[in-house]
Amino acid sequence: MAETVEAKAPRRIQLPVLDSFLWLIRLAAIFAVVWGAYFSLSSGRLSGAQWKDLVIFGLSQGSVYALIALGYTMVYGVLRFINFAHGEVFMSGAMVAFFVARGLSRTAMWTDQVFLSLFLVMLASAATSTVIAVALERIAYRPLRGKPRLIPFITAIGASFFLQYAIAGLFGFGFKSFPQVPALSGSFFFAGFRVLKTQSVVIVAAVLMMIGLYLFVERTRTGKAMRAVAEDQEIARLMGINVDRTISIVFAVGGAMAGAAGFLYLLVFQQVFFLTGFIPGIKAFTAAVVGGIGNIPGAMIGGLLLGGIESIGPSLVLTGLGIPSAHQLKDVVAFLALVMILIFKPSGVLGERVAEDRA
Amino acid sequence: MSSSETSPILELREVTTHYGPIQVLKEVNVEIRAGEIVCLLGGNASGKTTTLKTILGYVEPTEGQVLLDGEAINGIATDDRVNKGISMVPENRRLFKRMTVMENLQLGAYLRRDKDEIGQDMERVFDLFPRVKERLSQRAGTLSGGEQQMVAVGRALMARPKVLLMDEPSMGLAPVLVAQNFEIIEQINEQGTAVFVVEQNANMALSIADRGYVLQTGRIVLADTAQGLLNNPQMRQAYLGEI
Ligand SMILES: Nc1ncnc2c1ncn2[C@@H]1O[C@H](COP(=O)(O)OP(=O)(O)OP(=O)(O)O)[C@@H](O)[C@H]1O
Ligand SMILES: [Mg+2]
């Protein structure tokens, strides 16, 4: 006999009034988006070319978010811990990128060997962030492993301030401007889109790194060890995996991605100062959650999605609703959109319920 | 038995283990020799899993020694103990559910660099479990319970251990599968691996074991050959389901 004695999952307490109210809000939001988009598009205030520019800009800043988001998501994957200082790891890389670039820009190499110079800058920023991330884990987080979650989290906030003001103390509080890269001025057309040369470097570099990371995690022995540690630390040990070392590698890889992102960020936004890590850090963290925290492809998608929405959203939705200077509200739009996604899919775009499913 | 003349591969000597202030194992003595199947019997919460965890270093004994090939391994990290030749099929199998069957097997051989021999061992696992070969690219979490057991055993064998620890391998399996499972254990043993199997299913375990120990609230209360235990009246009453 096929008896179905399976206990039904306990239902949430039903609050019809609240529920329907929430649905109303969601419908209203969808309506506002459709309405705004319709009027923005039909008003023809932005030309097709301008829309395309926004797409490319969104893609390039999204690539930067995605690279940072990877560090959040990988660390969360193995430790169920939000490394709040990850934004500062990114900023430190950007800061070093600036100094190395400034140094190189005073030599002939900057114009004669453009790609080699840029590669060196990126190498320096990635190396800096890697070292900082690994040191952070070793010094600040590892001694607190196994303690209640709030404790390492508070420590991470402390580490975040520490890094901000250490950088400010060492290099000053002002904005630093990345030197011009003559070879990267101007733009070209690709499949009907106008792409700034800097943007193309950012997108290509980010995509290559993400492919590399994906292959590393999926195919290599160390990548498999990382996934094993993420899933079950005790059993990972039973395979002979050195869990501490694997966690260090996760921080190193996440740091390298963030450092590279620091350099790419400078190509897009040109300026860095000691608080530069904060907003992109929060955004990348959000992107990781939206993609499904702990999920590597999710972080990539989340980052690109956020970059795109932030770039296109205000013009698309707000101008049509008659809101002036829509672009000042880009963060409002972006975060509202992300909240909407999470309302409809709380575990994130690619999220499984990874956090709580341990036996 | 000739095996009793050789020195033990794995030995627990007067091992006492605590979780915090709670004492779980009390002066436990166990020996496993090359070529043997040894079973550890005992009821729920008697300390069977804790014994295995002490062997692997998940918990450190507060007193006594764990010896591998006559050498004390107290204080050595779990992954290094695995490297020295201990492997385990854990309670509830604990596969990496999000990874494929193939990846689970590969992780079993994580510490090994001898590619050719890893391939041979993989074939050996497929010989023992033809089903596993058909499921290589499937996510381990989607396997049936019986299949998961096969992969868990296969994964442990991929480390090519000197001693294989098994924590209640028959738990949650249908009776047919339990019998098969014990046959497999015998085969593995015949191929040269010493096996230390923890069980509540005393009859089955003793039918394949050379020797056995009975654990009661953290103490070894009986230690004898399998035949001796099967004939022991005290044993028959308490563990073999006879009155
Ligand atoms: N991590 C732990 N912290 C505290 N107490 C523990 C811990 N693990 C086990 N114990 C306790 O130690 C005792 C023995 O546990 P153990 O898991 O070794 O039993 P077992 O013989 O394997 O039981 P079972 O047959 O149910 O698997 C139990 O009373 C258990 O509650
Ligand atoms: Mg147990």
- Please name which of A234, A232, A241, A243 lies closest in space to residue A358, comparing C-alpha atoms: A232
- Given a cut of 60, whether residue A1 has pLDDT beyond it is no
Half-sphere exposure of B243 (CA within 13 A, CB side): 0
- Given a cut of 70, whether residue A325 has pLDDT beyond it is yes
ipTM of the shown complex: 0.92
Question: Most A CBs within 10 Å: which of B91, B110, B160, as the mutation test of the A interface?
Answer: B110
Chain A touched by B19 (CB under 8 Å): no
- Given a cut of 50, whether residue A357 has pLDDT beyond it is no
**A226 vs A218: CA distance, rounded Å:** 10
Determine which residue's CA is closest to atom 3 belonging to ligand 1.
B19
Judge whether A23 lies within some domain: no
- Given a cut of 90, whether residue A260 has pLDDT beyond it is yes
Tell me the pLDDT tens digit for each residue of A203-246: 999 999 999 999 999 999 999 999 999 999 999 999 999 999 99
Ligand 1 close to Cβ of residue B50 (< 6 A):
yes
Joined together, the tokens standing for residue A338 give 């992300």
Query: Which range of residues forms the domain containing residue A259?
Result: 48-275
Q: Which position has the higher pLDDT, B76 or A315?
A: B76
Chain A touched by B126 (CB under 8 Å): no
Chain B touched by A316 (CB under 8 Å): no
DSSP B173-231: --HHHHHHHHHHHHHHHHTT-EEEEEES-HHHHHHH-SEEEEEETTEEEEEEEHHHHHH
Scored b (16 or more CB within 10 A) or e, A95-127 reads bbbbebbebbbeeeebeeeeeebbebbbbbbbe
- Confidence (pLDDT) at B67: 94
Tell me which chain B residue has its CA closest to the CA of residue A240: B79
Joined together, the tokens standing for residue A161 give 């301030």
C-alpha B92 – ligand 2 centre gap (Å):
9
Judge whether A101 lies within some domain: yes
- Confidence (pLDDT) at A344: 77
DSSP B11-80: EEEEEEEEETTEEEEEEEEEEE-TT-EEEEEE-TTSSHHHHHHHHHTSS--SEEEEEETTEE-TT--HHH
- Please name which of B113, B107, B84 lies closest in space to residue B94, comparing C-alpha atoms: B107
- Confidence (pLDDT) at A6: 45
Q: Which position has the higher pLDDT, A28 or A200?
A: A200
Tell me the pLDDT tens digit for each residue of B44-82: 899 999 999 999 999 999 999 999 999 999 999 999 999
Are B56 and A238 a contacting pair at CB < 8 A?
A: yes
- Given a cut of 60, whether residue A8 has pLDDT beyond it is no
Chain B positions touching A238 (Cβ under 8 A) are 56, 78, 82, 87-88, 90
**A150 vs B24: CA distance, rounded Å:** 31
The single residue listed with the structure tokens 């607190």 is A144
**B1-85+163-243, superfamily in CATH?**
P-loop containing nucleotide triphosphate hydrolases (3.40.50.300)
How much is the CA Rg of chain B, to the nearest whole Å? 17
Q: In angstroms, how far is CA A243 from the centroid of its own chain?
A: 25
- Confidence (pLDDT) at A14: 63
Structurally, chain A folds into a number of domains equal to 1
Chain A touched by B96 (CB under 8 Å): yes
B211 class by beta-carbon count within 10 Å (0-12 exposed, 13-18 middle, 19+ buried): buried
**β-pairing, A187-190 with B10-19?**
unpaired
- Confidence (pLDDT) at B137: 94
On whether the CB atoms of residues B200 and B41 are closer than 8 A, the answer is: yes
Q: In angstroms, how far is CA A128 from the centroid of its own chain?
A: 18
Judge whether A56 lies within some domain: yes
Question: Most A CBs within 10 Å: which of B96, B97, B113, B114, as the mutation test of the A interface?
Answer: B96
Residue B182's identity, in one-letter code, is: F
What's the length of chain A?
A: 359
Judge whether A164 lies within some domain: yes
Tell me the pLDDT tens digit for each residue of A99-149: 999 999 888 888 888 889 999 999 999 999 999 999 999 999 999 998 898
- Confidence (pLDDT) at A10: 56
Joined together, the tokens standing for residue A323 give 């809101």
Kindly report, as residue ranges, where domains of CATH 3.40.50.300 are found in chain B: 1-85+163-243
Phi, psi of A306 (to 5 degrees): -65, -45
Q: Which position has the higher pLDDT, A326 or B166?
A: B166
Ligand 1 pocket test target in B49, B52, B56, B93 with most atoms within 8 Å of CB: B49
HEC per residue, chain A? CCCCCCCCCCCCCCCHHHHHHHHHHHHHHHHHHHHHHHHHHHHCCCCHHHHHHHHHHHHHHHHHHHHHHHHHHHHHHHHCCCCCCHHHHHHHHHHHHHHHHHHHHCCCHHHHCHHHHHHHHHHHHHHHHHHHHHHHHHHHHHHHCCCCCHHHHHHHHHHHHHHHHHHHHHHCCCCEECCCCHHHCCEEEECCEEEEHHHHHHHHHHHHHHHHHHHHHHHCHHHHHHHHHHHCHHHHHHCCCCHHHHHHHHHHHHHHHHHHHHHHHHHHHCEECCCCCHHHHHHHHHHHHHHCCCCHHHHHHHHHHHHHHHHHHHHHHHHHHCCCCHHHHHHHHHHHHHHHHHHHCCCCCCCCCCCCCCC
Tell me the pLDDT tens digit for each residue of A159-185: 999 999 999 999 989 999 988 888 888
**pTM of structure:** 0.89
C-alpha B12 – ligand 1 centre gap (Å):
18
Chain B positions touching A236 (Cβ under 8 A) are 107
**A15 vs A61: CA distance, rounded Å:** 41
**B237 vs B243: CA distance, rounded Å:** 5
Half-sphere exposure of A357 (CA within 13 A, CB side): 14
- Confidence (pLDDT) at A36: 81
C-alpha A355 – ligand 1 centre gap (Å):
25
**B97 vs B143: CA distance, rounded Å:** 9
C-alpha B50 – ligand 1 centre gap (Å):
6
- Confidence (pLDDT) at A5: 44
List chain B residues with pLDDT less than 50. 1-4, 242-243
- Please name which of B51, B161, B57 lies closest in space to residue B108, comparing C-alpha atoms: B161
Chain A touched by B50 (CB under 8 Å): no
Atom of ligand 1 nearest to the CA of B42: 21
Chain B touched by A235 (CB under 8 Å): yes
What's the length of chain B?
A: 243
The H or E element spanning position B120 is helix B115-128
Judge whether A282 lies within some domain: no
CA distances from A50 to A46, A57, A61, A191, A265 (A): 6, 11, 17, 15, 22
**A115 vs A106: CA distance, rounded Å:** 16
On whether the CB atoms of residues A129 and A262 are closer than 8 A, the answer is: yes
Ligand 1 close to Cβ of residue B42 (< 6 A):
yes
Chain A positions touching B108 (Cβ under 8 A) are 239
Which residues is B161 bridged to in the sheet?
Answer: none
**A351 vs A346: CA distance, rounded Å:** 8
